[in-house]
Amino acid sequence: MHLHILGICGTFMGGLALIARAAGHRVTGCDAAVYPPMSTQLAEQGIELIEGYEAGQMALRPDLYVVGNVVTRGNPLMEAILDSGARYVSGPQWLGDNVLPGAHVLAVAGTHGKTTTSSMLAWILEAAGLRPNFLIGGVAHDLKVSARYDPAIRPFVIEADEYDTAFFDKRSKFVHYRPRTAILNNLEYDHADIFPDLAAIETQFHHLLRTVPSRGRIVRPASSDALDRVIARGCWSETVSFGPGGAWQAGPADADGAFEVLFDEQSAGTVRWALGGEHNRMNALAALAAAQHAGVAPADGVAALSRFGGVKRRMELRGTAGGVKVYDDFAHHPTAIATTLEGLRRQVGQARILAVLEPRSNTMKLGAVAARLPQALQLADRVFCFGERSGKHALGWNPAEVLAPLGDRASDYNDLGLLVEAVTQAARPGDHVLVMSNGGFGGVHDKLLQALARREPA
């Protein structure tokens, strides 16, 4: 079958394209911006990529158009598809109908930590010899790729996003996955562009719970009011909790980040790794509980996590220049920003942290949770906020006003060059520059490293 994928360079749709190719389909695709690294991965698999959404692509005459959620009405190719009566389907539904049936689906949902927890879980199963299939919104250093598929393999780890499926299907993507094991890692208000309030997201999470079989497993934090409300609506599966008061608990981390894992008050061993932060310990517990449901003994899971190398764009050290370390992190919600800073602060002690923030997600651009930013950024010694004032990524709020409680520690910029210059001037040898954005941020990481390298020694 020939599939033509609209929005192919997105992380999910690009991974889906790789899976479809591995399943034996001919795959082509298009996107508004065809760029590495996804375009490179796809080209290496023989997948033809087309720049833009011109209606002329109808001449390819695929058997099915697979539509990503970046595609809207008014898109020239989509309008031509609708006018012609051609067959089309959303990416999540195609995956749910054609790849996941018969698999042991392990879905990782939650407002934060989906990519990291999915990567941990896939790595635990890999280390146990289960060779899982997976579709993850990032690349773990150990797994090398974001998606993998072998029809003969039963375990399938998927990052289960609550964002809507397509312009013609406003349910969350994860309702199409029918998991046997479901991690509900946490639940907060997000995606202000499609959800009016937290209750609306809770409804979608309960839709997910309705699809988990009675022999399935729900993995959830022991303490979460929002998830308590979701569970109270009805739960028909085994529920396993983690965190303080849960069946799976983490002991305190030592100076090197190592911590003991307790399962039903019995030690499962000590995770020894370089990852920091309470959030990563909670992610680890969730992954261990899910892996156990797939047949991995707790002690084996702990041993695997001790060899876990982390995920790109999650506290990833991009380089050191002029004695200053520059990190890249995907944090783009106040809770994630706060936990990321907490993890770095534990790691660097009293050294200065310069936080460089791009509020780029739809929720952040709309300002729905902007008031929480000053508290989230408290552990940073300096804060540099970048926000466009016009165009697609323009902010709907004033960073100077929102960040005023931080006083002269915070400053805002709408010119990337001026931002790089300001951070470079402020940075001292021994400092840690933490860049946080869910986008490319104009290549600011490399720009900072180059500017710091050119700077004359003090």
- Residue showing tokens 């517990």: 285
DSSP state at residue 140: B
327: part of which helix (H) or strand (E)? strand 324-329
Q: In 3-state terms, what secondary structure has residue 450?
A: helix
Helix 444-454 vs helix 416-426: crossing angle, to nearest 10: 50
What tokens were used for 54?
């011109």
For the sheet containing 133-135, what is the strand order? 147-148, 133-135, 155-159, 104-109, 181-184, 217-221, 238-242, 248-250, 259-263, 266-271
Write the DSSP symbol of residue 69.
T
325 in a labelled binding site: no
How does DSSP assign 273-299, residue by residue?
-S--SHHHHHHHHHHHHHHHHTT--HH
Residue 72 is labelled as binding a ligand: no
| β-bridge pairing 266-271 and 316-321 | unpaired
CA distance 52 to 431: 42
Can you tell me the distance from the alpha carbon of 357 to that of 383, in angstroms, rounded to the nearest whole number? 7
Calculated CA dihedral for residues 357, 358, 359, 361, nearest 10 degrees: -130
Q: Name which of 163, 148, 166, 168 is nearest 201 in CA terms.
A: 163
Is 335 annotated in some ligand binding site? no
Structure tokens at 140: 């773990």
| 179 φ/ψ angles, rounded to the nearest 5 degrees | -70, 150
- Helix (H), strand (E), coil (C) string for 4-15: EEECCCCHHHHH
442 labelled ligand-binding: no
- The one-letter amino acid code at 108 reads V
Find out whether 110 is annotated in a ligand binding site.
yes
Has 2 been labeled as part of a binding site?
A: no
319 labeled binding residue: no
Residue 225 corresponds to which tokens in the numbers above?
């009011």
Q: What are the binding residues?
A: 110-116
Q: What are the binding residues for ATP?
A: 110-116
